[in-house]
Amino acid sequence: MMPAPKNPGPRGTLRHDEPMARHTSWRAGGPARTFYEPADIADLSAFLRALPAGEPVFWLGLGSNLLVRDGGLQATVIATAAMLKRIERDAPDLVRAEAGVPCAKVARFCARNGLRGAEFLAGIPGTVGGALAMNAGAFGGETWACVAAVETVDRHGEVRVRPPGDFRVAYRSVAGPPGEWFLAAHLRLTPGAGRAGSARIRELLARRSATQPTGQASCGSVFRNPPGDHAARLIEAAGLKGTCIGAACVSTKHANFIVNTGGARAADIEALIRLVADTVARTQGVRLEPEVRIVGEPVPGATPLQEGERP
């Protein structure tokens, strides 16, 4: 009798104690216990099925809109940006983009293919998966306004296609079936003049470069805009532009950005987030809510925000 074939194991890239500072746009953060880059969706499904039932899983795109504390993540990080990056036109008005595709690439692809409505994605510094998870937006557009369907995967590796009606979508908030993660988006767009779309993207990127610190390490916008106002206006009115804790500073170009000017710790960034929120609440009477996700373990002596806690 022939012996049973051995499990070949994951086909992707598996690392341990991987510094998250290498994978976040703030260039800060401690190590992930396990870090996995899947080869493709089939490999990802097999990897999820093989994980111990109690192992925490954390999904990572480009690492924007994310602060990993200096103590790191006691979890398995699944990084989609390196592998889940297919993008294709499925129909005259449909584009399928996997979770690891940068939003700016989706915008350019749609414009080249004569599709309108995705130009705003050029202003989102993250991937499709992250944009789906938080209903990311820029320049007046929001991700889920274009979504015709999504593909998800659960802890058992089962892949599903779901309509938008299976999710509760709000400003920078998305809730859906528990225990499922986004694999791809099917975007419904309007056929139109690709040249006009490309010109619009160039215009939006020029505006972004003129008003945001695009050449510095940041997470994008730190705080959500409160109803009827802008977080940046409130922060500037509180006199906080240029305020620093360590090498973490409120941008002098756009007050809703915190930049790592070189060597900032995650604890410095988190402390500055708390300082900004407290100062704006005291001087402007508005409690700002973070848009950035803060995860991981603090180092001894740090005073972290609890996940979901207002600073």
Q: Which residues are catalytically annotated?
A: 172, 221, 291
Residues 247 and 249: their CA atoms lie apart, in Å, by 6
Beta-sheet strands, E only, within the chain: 13-19, 31-37, 57-60, 66-68, 73-79, 87-91, 94-98, 115-116, 137-138, 141-142, 147-154, 159-162, 168-170, 173-175, 180-188, 190-191, 244-245, 248-250, 258-260, 293-295
Q: Are 283 and 240 in contact (CB under 8 A)?
A: no
Q: Are strands 87-91 and 137-138 parallel, antiparallel or unpaired?
A: unpaired
Instruction: Give the residue from 256, 262, 76 showing the smallest Cα distance to 172.
Output: 256
- Cβ neighbours for 178, distance < 8 A, ≥ 6 positions apart: none
Residue corresponding to tokens 């015709």? 148
Centroid of chain to Cα 204:
20
Amino acid occupying residue 256: N
Helices and strands, counts by H and E, the chain: 6, 20
